Amino acid sequence: MHGEYKMPGGKLVVADFDVRDGKLTRVRISGDFFLEPDSALTMIDVALEGLPADAGNTRHAAVVRAALGPNVRMYGVSPEAIAVAVQRALEPAA
């Protein structure tokens, strides 16, 4: 599954993953945003892995926020923007 979201005033966020047994698998978040440290991107992928696909934006964003903690700096992206990209990937094609 593939979803994209351009955050207002920010950057493009891309979510690619599969859904197996109702859970997110093979999660890969990417885009033209920046994170410090760089390892934070892997932390996001790991945090979303295995979450129920139907958990919703609020829970997906909360899980990303919790995984990153206060020492990660996000530039041009937010946990909410990541959750929107995930949700767009889950929506049926229009």
**How long is the chain?**
94
Closest-CA residue to 14 (of 26, 37, 32): 32
What are 46-71's pLDDT values in tens digits? 999 999 999 999 999 999 999 998 89
Report the CATH number of the 2-90 domain. 3.30.390.50
- Secondary structure, 3-state, 49-76: CCCEHHHCHHHHHHHHHHHHCCCCEEEC
Read off the amino acid at residue 19: V
Task: State if pTM tops 0.95.
Answer: no
